Amino acid sequence: MIDKCKRLFHTLKYLKRKQIAYRIFYFSRKKWRSLFGFKYTASIEKNAFPLVLSNSIYTPISCHNNTFSFLNKSKTFSGFPDWNFAGYGKLWTYNLNYFDFLNQKEIDMDRSVELINNYIDSFKDLKDGLEPFPIALRGMNWIKFFSKHKIIDAKFDHSLYAQYKILEDQLEYHLLGNHLLENGFSLLFASYYFKDAGFYRSASDILVKELKEQILPDGAHFELSPMYHQIMLFRLLDCIDLVKNNDFFGSSKLSLLEEKASLMLGWLKQISFADGSIPLLNDSANGVAPSTNDLIAFANYLKITPSQNVLKESGYRVFKRQYFEMIVDVGDIGPDYIPGHAHSDTFNFELHVHEKPFIVDTGTSTYEVSSQRFSERSTSAHNTVRINNIEQSEVWSAFRVAKRAKVLNVVEGPHVVSASHDGYKSIGIIHSRKFEIINNDIFIKDNFDSYGKGKSYFYIHFHPDVHVTLENNLILADSHTISCIGKYSFSLSNYNYSPEFNKLIPSIVLIVEFEGNLETCIRLQI
């Protein structure tokens, strides 16, 4: 009980006062409203004005007849969907309620209209769908769909306006981060679609403040997930397209949107591998966000030029050579007050050779509270060092972090970067790691300012396509080798690689058990 209280204290102490105040306010208001039988209005009369929008990026095909497929799980409904279906977890239910399928390339117009009608008719029974985040995403999808196909329907518009009033009533100030930013993007769409000055003021207040805070000077989205970075950049580009093509409120916000999009595009181009993929750092998975190549193409269409970023504040560093690319993490896990998508992965790295993944992050397969979720966020699921059974950062539940590692003393040059972190200060140890590239050799040096009792473990996760063997105290991985200097032993074990949600692929992890300091050499045979 005492340990749980300490963990909760170290989680809550980082929250902003605004988050705490809104959590208390929303909780209390919900209790009072339930006592008096409060219900949101399902329809509010309001004229809408279909927008002029360019063809954006198509969403993946997720709806065909009565079958809906999200996150690698499919459900076939008899007739209309159960919009509250919870059999595959909350994130799947959210995706069902987003209506992303309205913007897939192959679409059945009659069926889409039927689904919208049924959704509106189901309003009084909706649960997750009336939470602010799905309202925000669904609102943008409906507006894009109505505008693209020139659909003018009072029932649709009156329902949509009522949904936006619900969103405005419960903006996600209790969460902040990408959730609040999505609220702002969506309200901007609603302000133009309904010519609503109130929505425009709310959107402006959110976007001006949050874009300045959430987009770091080096261009990264501050939650440090390449996947969420792609999603936020997509929203920015859609909003730029909106403001450029519709002159209802002028273009005073256009320069801010373009400035942040340029920064984000520059960061994404640097962090993406040559094959167009992103490193699966923190909560990242393939198949969720628009691809880097699609985002670059859309940005080019909108005449957005990527900035020439120098990677710094995000903590990510990139070493690109003729035959290999390495991305390392020497930064903090993310913003202290919203680390929900962070992992315990300080000094993690990924390595591609000949444009193919070689050493990888284990990825993210679920957001559900489970042993799988905890495992994927844990230190041992990343290419870094765990001491005894202690986590660098105390990840818990699905989106919580209590005590967390802080990075110290970053020093870097063209071929080297080194830093320290205090994630093991509870046992009196500061961990320092140095990455250095000499020709085709990658040296990783792990040093500790003091030696406590117990063992240290360095984990190296290989891509499933890599053939790994242990011979004469040398690791052979395809044609490449891994060796160490120090007091150590090698062992090979199994892990599940999760490049997408709900996808687990068996692969091999190297575990280097060692005492004292360790020097590891990854020798690439090019």
Task: Supply the pLDDT for residue 453.
Answer: 62
Instruction: Point out the residues of the chain with pLDDT beneath 50.
Output: none
| C-alpha dihedral, 319 to 322 to 325 to 326, nearest 10° | -40
Structure tokens at 237: 């580009």
DSSP secondary structure code for residue 60 in this structure: P
Q: Taking Cα atoms as reference points, which of 359, 399, 390, 346 lies closest to residue 495? A: 359
Task: Supply the pLDDT for residue 251.
Answer: 78
Q: Taking Cα atoms as reference points, which of 242, 261, 260, 262 lies closest to residue 251? A: 242
Task: Supply the pLDDT for residue 1.
Answer: 76
Query: How many Å separate Cα 113 from the centre of its chain?
Result: 31
DSSP secondary structure code for residue 425 in this structure: G
Task: Supply the pLDDT for residue 229.
Answer: 98
pLDDT in tens, 432-481: 999 999 999 999 999 998 765 678 999 999 999 999 999 989 999 999 99
CA distances in angstroms from 322 to 438, 440, 481, 521, listed in the order given: 13, 10, 19, 19
For residues 204 and 296, give the distance between their C-alpha atoms in angstroms, rounded to a whole number: 26
DSSP secondary structure code for residue 478 in this structure: T
Q: Taking Cα atoms as reference points, which of 171, 174, 192 lies closest to residue 183? A: 171
Element (H, E) at 341: none
pLDDT in tens, 93-133: 999 999 999 999 989 999 999 999 999 999 999 999 999 99
Residue with tokens 């959590």: 23
For residues 113 and 145, give the distance between their C-alpha atoms in angstroms, rounded to a whole number: 10
Structure tokens at 25: 């306010």
Structure tokens at 401: 């972090």
pTM of the shown model: 0.97
Q: Where are the domains of the chain?
A: 316-523
CA distances in angstroms from 413 to 173, 210, 418, 436, 438, listed in the order given: 40, 32, 9, 9, 12
128: left (phi over 0), alpha (psi -120 to 50) or beta: alpha
Arch. (CATH architecture) of 316-523 = Distorted Sandwich (2.70)
Q: Residues 143, 241: contact at Cβ < 8 Å? A: no
For residues 136 and 190, give the distance between their C-alpha atoms in angstroms, rounded to a whole number: 10
Q: Residues 329, 345: contact at Cβ < 8 Å? A: yes
Task: Supply the pLDDT for residue 374.
Answer: 97
Give Dmax over CA atoms of the chain in angstroms.
76
Q: Residues 68, 74: contact at Cβ < 8 Å? A: yes
